[in-house]
Amino acid sequence: GPPLFIRELARAWVRARALLETLAVAGQPLMSSVCFEAAGLGAQGADAVRVLRAEHLVRGADGGLINVFHDRVREAVLMRSDGSTQRMRHLALAVSLERSSRGAFEDLARHFDAADERDRAARYAVRAGDAAVQALAFDRAAALYLLAIERARSEAGSADLYRKLGD
């Protein structure tokens, strides 16, 4: 087989790709710990960041926020990854954000929705809508309640949401 350093390099690029795809679907800077968990990297995440930083594909500090280097990088990565990969990355990211308690309700709704997890997307969209009402962001709340109505599977829940939408 190939020499050990070639096999290690190939594994490093697989980890770097997982991290880059996760950052691309995130659409915003992420805490590195959340991103490493979502990408399935754990302690090897810092190595993946260094590989990607050396290629000018990501920016950020070890242990802090990381992001793709430029929106064009994000767009290129998303264009080259298929729908099932993107859904998988969105789901892993949503679960990591949920577990970390760092995820804003709207982000959780967006990632669960992109992962085709309709019930979870609806639940977080309602919570995000309620938070938007509290912040007097009524247009945002309406959009989130509509998302929840579209994703909700129960008619009883939808009736509640239509009432909130009317308020």
- Phi and psi at 60, nearest 5°, equal 135, 170
What's the rounded Cα separation, in Å, for the pair 20 and 153? 33
- Is the Cβ–Cβ distance between 46 and 10 less than 8 Å? no
What's the rounded Cα separation, in Å, for the pair 123 and 130? 11
Digit-coded pLDDT (tens) for 5-61 = 788 888 888 999 999 999 999 999 999 999 999 999 988 999 999 999 999 999 986
What's the rounded Cα separation, in Å, for the pair 57 and 47? 14
In this predicted structure, what is the pLDDT of residue 162?
61
Digit-coded pLDDT (tens) for 91-140 = 999 999 999 987 799 999 999 999 999 999 999 999 898 888 887 878 88
Digit-coded pLDDT (tens) for 127-167 = 898 888 887 878 888 888 888 888 876 554 565 666 666 66
For residue 138, the SS3 value is helix
- Is the Cβ–Cβ distance between 151 and 121 less than 8 Å? yes
Tokens of 142: 């309406």
Give the single-character DSSP code of 135: T
- Per residue, what are the HEC states of 10-43? HHHHHHHHHHHHHHHHHCCCEEHHHHHHHCCCHH
- Please list, in sequence order, all residues whose beta carbon lies within 8 angstroms of the beta carbon of residue 78, skipping any fewer than 6 positions away: 24, 25, 86
Q: Which residue has the tokens 């990591």?
A: 96
Q: Which residue has the tokens 């770097």?
A: 16
